[in-house]
Structure 1
Amino acid sequence: MKTLLRSCLVGLLALPLLAMAADSININTASAEELAQMNGVGEARAAAIIEYRDEKGKFTSVEELTEVSGIGDATLEKNRDLLTAGE
C-alpha cells in the first residue's frame, strides 16, 4: 500500500513538468501562429522570427531571439520558461 501511495505521489508531482513540456515552444520549428502566442509577440513579430530563422538558419539558443527586430530582452524574459531551441 505504501508503495502504491509513493508511486501516486511521484506521478502527481511529475504532472506539472509534463504539462510544461507540452506547452513549450520550439523556436526552430514553431509556426507563426504558435510563435504569436508568446507574451508580447503578435503576428508581425512572429513573422519576423520566421523570416530571421529562414535567412540565418536554426537558432542555437533562445537568447538569439533578441537578434530579431522587435524582440528585446524584456520579451525574452517574459517567455524564457516556455521556449526551447532544441530538436
Structure 2
Amino acid sequence: MSIHQHIARLLLAAVTALTTLATPALAEVEANRASQAELETVKGIGPALSGKILAARERGAFKDWTDLQERVAGIGSGNSARFSQAGLTVAGSGFAGLAEAAPRAGTATAPRGAGGKTDKTGKADKADKADKARKGEAATRP
C-alpha cells in the first residue's frame, strides 16, 4: 500500500468518526424543564410553539400530555405523537396515544399535492386550474 492510499484511509476513518460523533442521538427533551433552545431541537417545534409552551409552563408544570394539549394551542394528538417520537416527554413520559394518532390501515390518504390536485390548504393548485380551463376551452371549441 502506498503512502497516499494509507493517508486516504486514515482521512476516511477520521471523517467517518467525526460524522458519527457529530450526529446527535435522539435525546429526551422534557417539556417541564427544557429551555426554549432545547424545545426547538425537537423536530416540528419552532420559536412560536416553544414560546407558547414556555408561557403555559409559567402557570405550572404540565401534569401529562393531555394537560399540555389543553394548555398549548397548536398541540393536539397528531403533534403530540410526532413530538414524542422526536424525543419530547411530559412529566417523564412519552405520548401514550401514539397508536391512536397513527393513521389506521386502509385509511391512508394521498400526500398533499399528490397528482397536482391540492396545495397544503386543500385548494386546487394553479396548474390544476389551468388544466381544467384548457379542457373546458377544448370542449367548447367548434
Q: TM-score, normalised by structure 1?
A: 0.64
- Match for 2:67: what amino acid? E
Partner of 2:61: 58
**What is residue 45 of structure 2 aligned with on the other side?**
41
Any conservation in 1 of the 2:36–2:54 contact (CA below 8 Å)?
A: yes
- Is the partner of 1:50 in helix, strand or coil? helix
Match of residue 70 from structure 1: 74
Q: Is this contact kept in 1: 2:42–2:88, CA < 8 A?
A: no
Write the distance in 2 (CA, Å) between the matches of 1:43 and 1:32: 8
Which residue of 2 is the match for residue 14 of structure 1? Answer: none
Q: Distance in 2 between matches of 1:24 and 1:62?
A: 15
Larger Cα-atom Rg: 2
Q: Counting helix residues as a fraction of each chain, which structure ranks higher?
A: 1
Q: Which segments of 5 or more consecutive residues in structure 1 lack a partner in the other structure?
A: 1-18
| Residue of structure 2 aligned with 1:83, choices 66, 79, 88 | 88
Residue segments in structure 2 that go unaligned for 5+ positions in a row:
1-24, 93-142
| SS of structure 2 residue aligned to 1:28 | coil
Aligned sequence identity (%): 35
How far, CA to CA, are the matches of 1:45 and 1:60 in structure 2? 19
Which whole-Å CA distance do the structure 1 matches of 2:44 and 2:69 have between them?
13
TM-score, L = length of structure 2:
0.41
* Structure 1 vs Structure 2 CA RMSD: 1.6
What's the secondary structure of 2:58's corresponding residue?
helix
Aligned length: 65
